[in-house]
Amino acid sequence: MSTGLLASAISVVIVCIGVLGLILKRNLLMKLLSLNIVNTATILFFVLIVYNPGDRAPIDPTPGVQYADPLPQALVLTSIVINFGVLALSLLFTMVLVKRYHTLDLIKIEDFVRREFEEEKS
């Protein structure tokens, strides 16, 4: 089993941990942290599936020399920026929710919202 093989299996396991945290944790900040873990593991996976010892950096490519794959590097760039934007916006919404309901517990927030909705209806 090569290093890349083992390491990509590890990265998939880390994605699994993050998704389980997204489902099982009730705290909103913990959910965001789990989302970040998923993103980091995705980046790890992209880095590892193209890891090949002896490849040169893909700068000024000439035929006949083995270069690293440029595509995952460009995709990782996208992933990092989007994760930054998503994290900032969801932290903002968490701040708004906490200011309104004074709790980070998602089930309590859902209860509050449901009660408000029913009061509005009646």
Partner 1 sequence: MEMGKYSVSMKTLYVVVIVVLFGAITIGALFMVGDSEVSRLGAVYLERSQEISNISNAVFSVYGMYRFYDTLFELLIFSTAVLGITIFSDLEPSIDSGSRKPVESHVVSASASFLYPIIAVFGIYLAFSAHLGPGGGFAGGVIGGTGILLLALAKGAEETARNFREDSMKQLEYLVLFLALSVAILGALYPIKVYRDALGTGVITLVNISIAMKVFIGTWAILHFFVKHRGEV
Which listed range, 29-37, 70-78, 111-119, lies at the site for partner 1 (CB under 8 A)? Answer: 70-78
Residue 81 CB, nearest approach to partner 1 (Å): 5
Burial class (CB in 10 A: 0-12, 13-18, 19+), 60: exposed
Pick from 82, 105, 108, 114: which binds partner 1 (CB under 8 A)? 82
Q: How far is CA 23 from the centre of its chain?
A: 14
Q: Give the side-chain half-sphere CA count within 13 A for 23.
A: 5
Residues lying near partner 1 in the complex (CB under 8 A)? 2, 4-5, 8-9, 12-13, 15-16, 19-20, 23-24, 45, 48-50, 57-63, 67, 69-75, 77-78, 80-82, 84-86, 88-89, 91-92, 95-96, 99
